[in-house]
Structure 1
Amino acid sequence: MRERLIQKLEQINKWRMQKISNRNFLIVCAFLVGIVGGLAAALLKGMTHFIAALLQDDIEWHFKYSLYLIFPLVGIFLSVLYVRKFMPGKKMEHGITPIIYAISRKSSRISPKNIYSQIITAAITVGSGGSSGLEAPIAFSGSAIGSNIGRLFGLSYKEVTMLLACGAAAGISGAFNSPIAGMIFAIEILLTEFSIPAFIPLLISSALAAVISRILYSEPLFHTAATDWEVKSIFFYILLAGLVGLYSVYFSKISNVVKNWFANIKNPYNKVWFSGISLGIMIFLFPALYGEGYITIQQMLDGHFNAIVKNSLFAEYRELAWVVVCYTVLTLFAKSFASLFTINGGGNGGVFGPSLVMGGLIGFAFAFGVNQTGFIQLNVPNFVMAGMAGALAGIMHAPLTSIFLIAEITGGYTLMVPLMLVSSISYLINRGVMKHSIYTKVLAESGDLISYEDKDRTVLSMMKLRYVLETNFVVLRPTETPLDRQSDIIHSKRNIFPIVDEKGKLVGIIYSERLFSILLGEEDGRDKTFAVLAQKPNDIILENEHMDVVMSKMNKEDVWILPVVNGDDHYLGFISKSSVFNKYRSLLIRQGQYLE
């Protein structure tokens, strides 16, 4: 049955290639990706809110505190269990980083399992109270949809990459009902170098996803009536931008610390216990940490400024303004740990949503606190929205996405100037301290990040050593002599010979010029073994080294060819500048076609 399906698909694809150009077919695929991406976004939101309602509705309030200790732990446990049972030998990838890695190092290939696994695990995690966001999982699921549709129809790398970005745009658009922000997200985060024609497929996918999502799940993310900003408050928007920028630096740094904590816990179920119990305690103290946290932000936008304290252990002090401010600040810092514990403990989700919530909390605490001084009265909801934009811009290094996302989901187009100001300043502060965003830092450190600021390094990072490894060399043994291998040496087309022992370890190398000199009697050594004649190579290349390191070694030693060994010093072959330059040229051509 499967073989017949594959044959039928191949026949359809052959007919398609004869009748429809790839450029036009890409538009058709963008329609398909948009529709499926919109369905996936609606499904994820519906599943998450169904699970949340199932766990919370019809439960007496005095029991909820106790259940808050259990629900997040159960959600993370079920997510880990799903991965270990239904994705054997694999771990759940989450966030935007794996999408960027797929573009950089995996020819934009994403496993089809991520289409549904991201939705299932994210719905379980967040619906059960995990303090993370749904946006990264749905962007990941959408990217997997686009990648696999492109591969299904045998499209090229640049076309598959475009459909992957269309899927991510569709996911963000469907999650937020914000087609412009979805498109800009794909361009700003995934397609960092693009041309005008790239807009068309992205627009189609993003718009269709928003339509489909709105039809199936029409409830908007936020309800607000933004009022115009006042010139006299512009100084306070600048102060807010500075605070948000500094906090985004703190969050970027603390994310690495938490990640290292959990990396030291080898047993995945121990991670579940530690993160689940810790998260339950934090939610017990700060109920606003339960789930995404958007309900708390909506209450602030509605003017219910003491709602964050209302259902907590400190509810009796909710009328004291400074208690509200201090409690909000504590909730803010707790949110950073809660979201990171959820993700690193085994739950699925991203920091996209938590960034919005943390930014909103900063904006609220700042504006509400300033109002208590009596010096000036600031519009608190406006500052909540500006804080959301600033946090997203700083943490993700995506100022345009943050501006248009907040403007779309809140209807706050009247706040464009404050949004632009806060987002840009926050972004510049974070970028000044953290060269890379929270998504790209790990990839940059491992050399797996495409950077269009350094095209040579970018192309080299796309190159895999095994594709330029040359193995057609005559191998000499340490116990042999030049006379023993005279015929092989004379007829060899290579000018270098590896000397390898019986265990496969590289002993040394010897060049043809010296061997010919010995065989012609110009140099003594015809009866000497290769163990004696071997010379140490200028340097060696390890099989897992990146190509920019390889070229650095070659340039440092001013050599054209170097031997390659594995971790046990076993000889694998040679790598030459000629093979690297040939591969470099082919990749440069492909990169040039990336988004034509």
Structure 2
Amino acid sequence: MSPTRSVSRTPRLADHSADWRLVPLAGAAVLIGAGAAGGAWLLMRLISLATNLFWFGTLSTGPREIADANVGLAVLAIPVIGSLIVGLMARFGSDKIRGHGIPEAIEAILYGESRLSLKVAILKPLSSAISIGSGGPFGAEGPIIMTGGAIGSLFAQQFKLSAAERKTLLVAGAAAGMTGIFGTPLAAILLAIEVLLFEWKPRSFVPVVIAVLVSLGLRPLLMGSGPLFPFPGASTPDFGTAALALGMGLVIGLEATALSWLLYRVEDAFHRLPVHWMWWPALGAIVVGLGGLIDAHVLGAGYANIQALLDGSLTMQVALTLLVVKATVWLVALGSGTSGGVLAPLLILGGALGVLLGQFLPGAVGFWAMIGMAGILSGAMRAPLTGALFAVELTGHFDALPATIAASAGAYGVSVLIMRRSILTEKIARRGRHVLQEYSVDPLDFLQAGELMSRDPDTLPGEMKIGAAVAFFAQGAAHRSYPVIDPAGRLLGLASRSDALRWQVEGDLNDVSLAEALSDPLQPYAFRHAPIGEVADLMVETGIGRVPIVDEATGRVVGILSRHDLLKARTATRRTELERT
């Protein structure tokens, strides 16, 4: 069969789809990792600057704790002032800065072709710094994920990369930014895989790892080295400890579910208010100020609270107060649509419940606080591996990994059974966009044409005259198109009902053979070992619903693959999920 007579869509069959475009993407990841690390440093300096300005009246970027400020009743006003500024920035700058950052990144990846604007890259860290610095009960991870992602996206847009390549660099920047803040490279990579990438490919994995490693290498120069929250007294891992951690994970999963449910009930309440959303953060900040009157430790990112929980220095009463008041101010503030992250508050809330439960369990309460932190991240974000690794990397207690994995699995199991969506994807779903967070192999990619084709299909001989072919279709042919073959069974082309109508209109072709009439050199076909996904793409591109399958060695037509055959692959896969035999 002459290659000029048809087009084959048979790809280079391999385990992965990687090509040499991976090399420039990896090179770009080096620059993006450095940029994200710088962005993490800048964000932390901005938060410190805002904290000093709002609470201490000084122009400094030195770290200060809001709980050390003595401002009296001004604690009611400062969060409101900061939130008013954030509301104005969102209203007249970009509403993309609202929220906790990760859902916005997911939405940009899935529905926005991974395009983030320069405006978002500038306003997101600035608004988050003002929000957190004025007492907003948030962390820096959501903003840095958006900021680092914007760095990667802008780089890709500057060099006119594809949407898939933009996604890779956006996620590389996000993971590098998270590493720059927390020093958790493994958790950042897993967050990229479990939450952001929506694929498992070398094209995305390798650049993400490179960007994370670059950020990790620069972190000691910018942020310091070592675990962010070291503490003594981790438990020796054994079966009993892992079993108890699994049980705690089940309880923490209920907490994660309750927090997510309450968050969106609060958000619904704000949507019912008869005022513009620009004012919602200021209204939510009133509750934040009241919470600060009760306990100033609930204000700001609260990294000192995380350390105190892990050190085991908090009494049950203080831990309970922190749990209730922090949850209240965080839920109201986040539901109001202001700017800030969810990881640090979740760590505090999971750690506080872990401390309370740890009073009745063997070992140091700080260990159980860490277990609670792993579980809450897994249950709320639906990222079990991220939760397990994040907790041990933050503390440096890698020997506790079996216990954190157990807790993460327990919380994850409870969460997915009770809650339809995670705390991240619920926000996207409320905008009318469903996100499926399960990975599986597409049957169209691993089944081959030879496995699904209809064998020994009906064909038309090349020597058949046009007149006879027109009569054949007019008399009610069973299919819309037929392969046309030569005496040796080799493909010459396709004859369809539309061809027959055209020949009938043109006239004077009755004595012309099909072999002479089919002069189009671009008739589609596929080989038997071609993935049926490639055949499906060929059908879409050509508009032809029945593709001949030919033997690669002889060129003989051995089968036909129709749209109906492709649907059978989906049905067979669904049966393996539902049928029990």
TM-score computed with the length of structure 2 as normaliser: 0.67
Q: Is the 8 A contact 1:229 1:415 kept in 2?
A: yes
Q: What letter corresponds to residue 392 of structure 1 in structure 2? A: L
The aligned runs of 1:124-163 (5 Å cut-off) are 124-163=130-169
Q: Within 1, Cα distance between the matches of 2:281 and 2:235?
A: 46
8 Å CA contact 1:76, 1:346 repeated in 2? no
**Match of 1:243?**
251
Deviations 1:227-255, CA, capped at 9 Å, x for gaps: 33354544532332122111011011111
For 1:37 and 1:61, the matched residues in 2 are separated by 31
Deviations 1:268-314 (A, max 9, x none): 35423421111100121122211112211212323422xxxxxxxxx
Show the counterpart of 1:74: 81
Which structure 2 residues correspond to residues 272-351 of structure 1 after superposition, within 5 A?
Answer: 272-305=281-314, 324-351=315-342
- Of 392-401 and 104-113, deviating more is 104-113
Correspondence 1:108-127 to 2 at 5 A: 108-127=114-133
Checking the alignment, whether the CA contact within 8 Å between 2:381 and 2:422 is kept in structure 1 is: yes
The whole-number CA distance in structure 2 between the counterparts of 1:117 and 1:270 is: 18
Aligned to 2:106: 100
Q: Which residue among 248, 258, 267 is the counterpart of 1:259? A: 267
Distance 1:284 1:405, change over 3 A: same
Amino acid at match of 1:162: T
Q: 1:422-481: CA deviations, max 9, x gaps?
A: 01100110111113211112434623435566999xxxxxxxxxxxxxxxxxxxxxxxxx
Q: In 1, distance between residues paired with 2:265 and 2:78?
A: 26
The equivalent position to 2:392 in structure 1, one of 367, 386, 407, is 407
Report the CA distance shift for 1:61/1:225 in structure 2 as closer, same or farther (over 3 A): closer
Deviation at 1:70, TM superposition (A): 2.1
Q: 2:208 aligns to what?
A: 202
Q: Is the 8 A contact 2:379 2:408 kept in 1?
A: yes
Amino acid at match of 2:354: G
Shift of 1:147: 1.1
Give the aligned residue type for 2:201: S
What per-residue deviation string (whole Å, max 9, x for no partner) do you get for residues 129-167 of structure 1?
100111011101111111111111011121111111101
CA distance in 2, matches of 1:300, 1:243: 18
Mapping 1:385-424, distance limit 5 Å = 385-424=370-409
Asked if 1:449 corresponds to 2:435, the answer is: yes
Q: What is the 5 A alignment of 1:81-96?
A: 81-87=88-94, 92=98, 94-96=100-102
Q: Deviations 1:340-378 (Å, cap 9, x if unpaired)?
A: 32233342112222111111111111113x2xxxxx642
Alpha-carbon shift at residue 43 of structure 1 (Å): 0.7
SS at match of 2:85: helix
Return 57-66 or 358-367, whichever deviates more: 57-66
The counterpart of 1:228, out of the listed 217, 228, 235, is 235
Structure 2 residue 350 is matched with structure 1 residue 359 = yes
- Contact 1:76–1:125, Cα closer than 8 Å, also in 2: yes
Q: In structure 2, how many angstroms separate the alpha carbons of the residues matched to 1:105 and 1:450?
A: 13
Q: 1:421 to 1:367 in 2, by over 3 A?
A: same
Counterparts in 2 of 1:452 and 1:221: CA distance versus 1, 3 Å = closer
Aligned residue for 2:419?
434
Answer yes or no: is the 8 Å Cα contact 1:245–1:429 preserved in 2: yes
Kept after mapping to 2: 8 A contact 1:388/1:406: yes
Q: CA shift at 1:90, angstroms?
A: 6.7
From 178, 183, 194, the equivalent of 1:172 is: 178
Q: 3-state DSSP class of the match of 1:224?
A: coil
* CA distances 1:36-76 after superposition (whole Å, capped 9, x unpaired): 11100111112112322444459997943423222211221
Q: Specify the alignment match of 1:475 in structure 2.
A: none
Identify the structure with bigger relative contact order (alpha carbons < 8 Å, sequence gap 6+).
2
Mapped to 2, the partners of 1:213 and 1:34 lie a distance apart of 11
The residue identity in structure 2 corresponding to 1:186 is: A
Secondary structure of the structure 2 residue equivalent to 1:435: coil
CA contact (8 A) 2:378 2:412 kept: yes
Aligned counterpart for 1:379 among listed residues 357, 360, 364 = 364
Write the letter of the residue equivalent to 2:109. Answer: I
Structure 2: any 5+ residue segments left out of the alignment? 1-18, 58-65, 443-562, 568-581
1:286/1:149 Cα in 2 relative to 1: closer, same or farther (>3 Å)? same
Q: For 1:258 and 1:124, how far apart are their aligned partners in 2?
A: 22
Written as runs of structure 1 = structure 2, the 5 A alignment for 1:551-570 is: none
Q: Deviations over 1:494-538 (max 9, x none)?
A: xxxxxxxxxxxxxxxxxxxxxxxxxxxxxxxxxxxxxxxxxxxxx
CA contact 1:104–1:448 (8 Å) conserved in 2 = no
The one-letter code of the counterpart of 1:223 is P
- Taking a change above 3 Å as real, the CA distance of residues 60 and 451 of structure 1, as seen in their structure-2 partners, is closer
Superposition deviation, residue 169 in structure 1 = 0.6
Task: Name the amino acid aligned to 1:31.
Answer: V
Distance 1:90 1:180, change over 3 A: closer
**2:507 paired residue number:** none
1:193 is the counterpart of 2:179: no
Letter in 2 for 1:106: G
- Note the alpha carbon deviations across 1:98-141, whole angstroms, 9 max, x for none: 11111221111122211111110111111111001110111011
Percent identity among equivalent residues?
Answer: 29
AA partner of residue 234 (structure 2): T
Maintained 8 Å contact 1:132/1:351: yes
CA 1:222–1:110 in structure 2 vs 1: closer, same or farther (change >3 Å)?
same
CA distance in 2, matches of 1:263, 1:226: 46
CA–CA distance in structure 2, aligned partners of residues 109 and 254 of structure 1: 31
Q: Is the 8 A contact 1:101 1:449 kept in 2?
A: no
Query: Structure 2: how far apart are the matches of 1:228 and 1:90?
Result: 43
SS at match of 2:71: helix
State the distance in 2 between where 1:200 and 1:163 align.
11
CA distance in 2, matches of 1:61, 1:93: 28
Change (3 A) 1:425 1:65: farther
8 Å Cα contact 1:275/1:342 also seen in 2: yes
Distance 2:33 2:303 in 1: 25
- The residue type equivalent to 2:304 in the other structure is I
The answer as to whether partners of 1:225 and 1:411 remain within 8 angstroms in 2 is no
